[in-house]
C-alpha cells in the first residue's frame, strides 16, 4: 500500500453494508471498479481527482470489504445497490467514473435514472453492441474465465493457497495490461484482498449475474434498446485483449452523446496504467458539470 492515509467508511443499505473510500470536496464523483479489482484499483486517481471533486470509491457487492450475501445476484441487484448507496450518502446527482463491471452497471442505471447523473466517464466498456463477438473463434481463448467462475469449486481452486491466488491474479493483471509488470508493486495487495473470506466467490458471482445476458447476445446478436442519453466520455485502452478496442465501433448506437478516444499506452486498466492521462481527461470532462 502507499503511504496515504485513506478515509475508509461504510454505508448501511437496506440489505448490504458497503465499504468505500472518500476524499476531497465539490461535485461528487463515484468511481466504480471492474474485475479483478476493488476500490484500491483507483489509488493513482483518488488523490489527484480529490483536488477538485468529492471522490467516492466503493467496493461493489461481493468485493473488497463490502458484504458478500449468499444469494446469487442479478445485474439489476448491482444497479439497485448503486441507487441505494447514493441515497445513503445523500447524493441527489453525481458523476460516475467506471471501468469494466462498473461501466456495465452504470448503463442500465443511466437508462432508469438519467436525472441523477451529471456525466459518465467510462473505460473499456462491456456494452450490448459487442453482441456475438464475445464468442468469436479467435476470442474464446480470452473468455474462459467467465465460465470457470460460475463453477462451484472455482473459488476453492483459486483460493487453495496464497500462492495459487497470486498466480491466478498475476495472470490477468499482467496479460490484460500493456506492460506485464504494471501491477508488480501492488500484486500482494490484490492477493491480500482476494484471500479475504468470501471475496473470490463474491467477485465470481458477477459472472453468474451476467451469464444469461451474455449468452443471449452470443445467440441472438446485439440487442436493440433505448440509448443512454447522459453525456459520456470513453477512453479505451488500445492494447486490451479481453475488451478489444475495435469493439468500440457501435458505441454511438447505444449512447446519444458520446466521445470515444484510445489510450495509446494502456491495455485493460487505463486508469491504473495511464493515470496522468486518465486524471487529466476525467477532470476536464467533469469541469462545470456540477450544476
pLDDT digits (tens, 9 = 90+) for 133-149: 999 999 999 999 999 99
Q: Is 252 a catalytic residue?
A: no
Averaged pLDDT score across all residues of the chain: 96
Q: Look-up: residue for cell 471533486? A: 53
Residue 180 has pLDDT above 60, yes or no: yes
- Determine, yes or no, domain membership for 116: yes
Q: Is 268 a catalytic residue?
A: yes
Which residue out of 20, 78, 207, 254 is catalytically annotated? 207
Which residue out of 100, 168, 240, 271 is catalytically annotated? 100
Give the pLDDT of residue 70: 86
Q: pLDDT tens digit string along 44-101?
A: 999 999 999 999 999 999 999 999 998 889 999 999 999 999 999 999 999 999 999 9
- Determine, yes or no, domain membership for 268: yes
Q: pLDDT tens digit string along 182-214?
A: 999 999 999 999 999 999 999 999 999 999 999
Q: Read off the C-alpha cell for 282.
A: 476525467
Q: pLDDT tens digit string along 16-38?
A: 999 999 999 999 999 999 999 99
Q: CA-to-CA distance for 158 and 194, rounded, in angstroms?
A: 10
Q: Which domain holds residue 253?
A: 8-286
Give the pLDDT of residue 289: 81
* Confidence class for position 1, pLDDT limits 50, 70, 90: very low
DSSP summary character for residue 228: B
Q: Read off the C-alpha cell for 213.
A: 445476458
- Determine, yes or no, domain membership for 291: no
Q: What share of the chain is helix, strand, coil (3-state, %, to 5)?
A: 45, 20, 35
Please state the length of the chain.
291
- Determine, yes or no, domain membership for 33: yes
Q: CA-to-CA distance for 188 and 179, rounded, in angstroms?
A: 18
Number of domains in the chain: 1
Give the pLDDT of residue 86: 98
Strand partners, 29: 55, 95
Q: Is 100 a catalytic residue?
A: yes
Which residue out of 65, 268, 271, 272 is catalytically annotated? 268
Task: Judge residue 4's burial from the number of C-beta atoms within 10 Å of its C-beta, 0-12 exposed, 13-18 middle, 19 or more buried.
Answer: exposed
Amino acid at each position: 500500500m502507499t503511504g496515504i492515509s485513506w478515509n475508509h467508511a461504510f454505508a448501511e443499505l437496506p440489505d448490504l453494508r458497503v465499504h468505500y473510500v472518500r476524499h476531497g470536496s465539490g461535485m461528487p464523483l463515484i468511481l466504480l471498479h471492474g474485475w479483478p479489482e476493488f476500490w484500491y484499483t483507483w489509488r493513482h486517481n483518488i488523490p489527484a481527482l480529490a483536488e477538485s471533486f468529492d471522490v467516492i470509491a466503493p467496493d461493489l457487492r461481493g468485493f473488497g470489504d463490502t458484504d458478500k450475501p449468499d444469494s446469487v445476484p442479478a445485474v439489476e441487484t448491482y444497479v439497485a445497490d448503486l441507487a441505494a448507496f447514493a441515497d445513503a450518502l445523500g447524493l441527489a446527482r453525481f458523476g460516475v467514473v467506471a471501468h469494466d463491471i462498473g461501466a456495465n452497471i452504470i448503463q442500465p442505471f443511466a437508462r432508469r435514472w438519467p436525472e441523477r447523473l451529471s456525466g459518465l466517464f467510462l473505460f473499456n466498456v462491456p456494452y450490448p453492441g459487442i453482441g456475438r463477438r464475445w464468442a468469436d473463434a479467435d476470442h474464446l481463448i480470452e473468455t474462459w474465465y467467465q465460465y470457470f467462475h460460475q463453477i462451484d469449486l472455482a473459488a476453492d481452486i483459486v483460493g487453495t493457497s496464497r500462492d495459487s491466488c497470486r498466480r491466478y491474479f498475476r495472470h490477468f493483471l499482467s496479460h490484460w495490461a500493456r506492460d506485464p509488470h504494471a501491477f508488480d508493486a501492488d500484486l500482494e495487495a490484490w492477493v491480500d484482498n482476494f484471500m479475504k473470506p468470501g471475496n473470490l466467490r463474491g467477485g465470481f458471482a458477477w459472472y453468474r449475474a451476467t451469464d444469461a445476458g451474455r449468452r443471449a447476445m452470443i445467440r441472438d446478436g446485439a440487442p436493440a434498446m433505448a440509448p443512454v442519453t447522459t453525456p459520456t466520455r470513453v477512453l479505451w485502452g488500445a492494447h486490451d485483449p479481453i475488451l478489444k478496442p475495435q469493439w468500440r465501433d457501435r458505441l454511438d448506437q447505444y449512447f446519444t452523446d458520446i466521445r470515444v478516444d484510445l489510450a495509446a499506452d494502456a491495455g485493460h486498466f487505463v486508469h491504473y496504467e495511464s493515470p496522468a492521462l486518465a486524471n487529466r481527461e476525467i477532470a476536464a470532462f467533469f469541469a462545470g458539470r456540477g450544476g
